[in-house]
Amino acid sequence: MSYLKEVKRITTTGLQSMKVQGEKIAMLTCYDYTMATLLDAAGTDVLLVGDSASNVMAGHETTLPITLDQMIYHAQCVSRGAKRAMVLVDMPFGSYQSDSAIALASAVRIMKETGAHAVKLEGGEEVLESILKITKAGIPVMGHLGLTPQSIHQFGSYGLQGKGEEAAEKLIKEALMLQEAGCFGLVLEKIPAVLAAKVSTALQIPTIGIGAGVNCDGQVLVMQDMLGMNNEFKPKFLRKYADLAGEITRATSAYVQDVKQAQFPSAEESY
């Protein structure tokens, strides 16, 4: 039996069982092959090819500019590196909002061309028809409520969402709608922890929080943020597990110095 066949892939039903058994789900964003092999081997359950690639890989200010073709490229790279983790791909801005037939066509392209296992899209009631169409085609969909960065120009800021009774009620109602429409999970971004806990209890499907407190069924962070690759970004919800910015700068400076002083390569490093 090949190594590939020996490794048990995380599936939507696997994530569902984790919720039932109280095992938290660890999700991270990932955009390339090398990092996919590392994050996968370290036990990450879900690798999200997030449209945050638009920010952290391409240097755009928002997630809006990234295209479906670019998301497909990143997803192909991650799929080649992930042996155990589920590969979940964000549907980019403009690939699903206009109508459900376009949404299905975009989701089909992602599934056909990348080897990924599921798609994620942002929004509530307004994208319900698209979610129904995609799930009916047999494609697993994860929803995303709360702060939905593709709507940044409507929000006006990346501030906390779901504040106040009316907003909280709307979010709970839409979470239930997404579950009803067939979503296998739901990202809750930047909402009060109490509200996220309420949603997580009300839903049978797992919730994955980012800035939504510890009572979600799992957590997600942008990989570059979690690894401390970006010193400027330090929101309250972020825990940095490494200082890669410091380490990369130190290693690169040492390399530059060695090259300048003809200390690299040595005789042992030459043919």
Cα separation values, 132 from 103, 109, 151, 183, Å: 10, 17, 21, 9
Output 63 or 135, the one with its CB closest to ligand KIV: 63
Q: Is residue 220 part of the contact set for ligand KIV (CB under 6 A)?
A: yes
Amino acid in position 128: L
Residue nearest to ligand KIV (CB): 50
- Asked if residue 225 binds ligand KIV (CB under 6 A), the reply is no
Is the alpha carbon torsion for 13, 19, 21, 27 positive or negative? positive
The site for ligand KIV, by CB under 6 A, has a size of 10
Report the candidate in 59, 58, 61, 80 with the shortest Cα–Cα distance to residue 69.
58
For residue 1 the two structure tokens come to: 């039996």
- Closest approach, Cβ 44 to ligand KIV, in A, equals 14
Closer to ligand KIV by Cβ: residue 8 or 239: 239
For ligand KIV, which residue of 87, 160, 203, 210 counts as binding (CB under 6 A)?
A: 210
Residues of this chain, 36-65, that bind ligand KIV according to CB under 6 A = 50-52
Please tell me whether residue 90 binds ligand KIV under the rule CB under 6 A: yes
10 makes contact with ligand KIV (CB under 6 A): no
Q: Smallest gap, in angstroms, from Cβ of residue 266 to ligand KIV? A: 42
Q: Does 181 bind ligand KIV (CB under 6 A)?
A: no
Say if strands 141-146 and 86-90 run parallel, antiparallel, or are unpaired.
unpaired
Shorter beta-carbon distance to ligand KIV: residue 47 or 210? 210
In the complex with ligand KIV, which residue's Cβ is closer, 40 or 90?
Answer: 90
Q: Which of 30, 160, 222, 226 binds ligand KIV (CB under 6 A)?
A: 222
Mark whether 125 is an active-site residue.
no
Contacts of range 105-110, beta carbons closer than 8 Å, 24 or more positions apart: 106/68, 107/134, 107/137, 107/139, 107/141, 108/137, 108/139, 109/68, 109/72, 110/68, 110/71, 110/72, 110/75
Pick the catalytic residue from 189, 232, 268, 269. Answer: 189
User: Of 216, 163, 226, 149, which is closest to residue 192 (Cα–Cα)?
Assistant: 163
Show the DSSP H helices in the chain as ranges: 3-6, 12-21, 33-41, 53-56, 68-81, 100-114, 128-136, 152-155, 165-180, 193-202, 223-226, 244-260
Provide the token pair at 138.
């047999």
Interaction of residue 187 with ligand KIV, rule CB under 6 A: yes
Q: Which is nearer to ligand KIV, 50 or 192 (CB)?
A: 50
CB of 42 to ligand KIV, least distance (A): 18
Interface positions with ligand KIV (CB under 6 A): 29, 50-52, 90, 187, 189, 210, 220, 222
Catalytic annotation, residues: 189
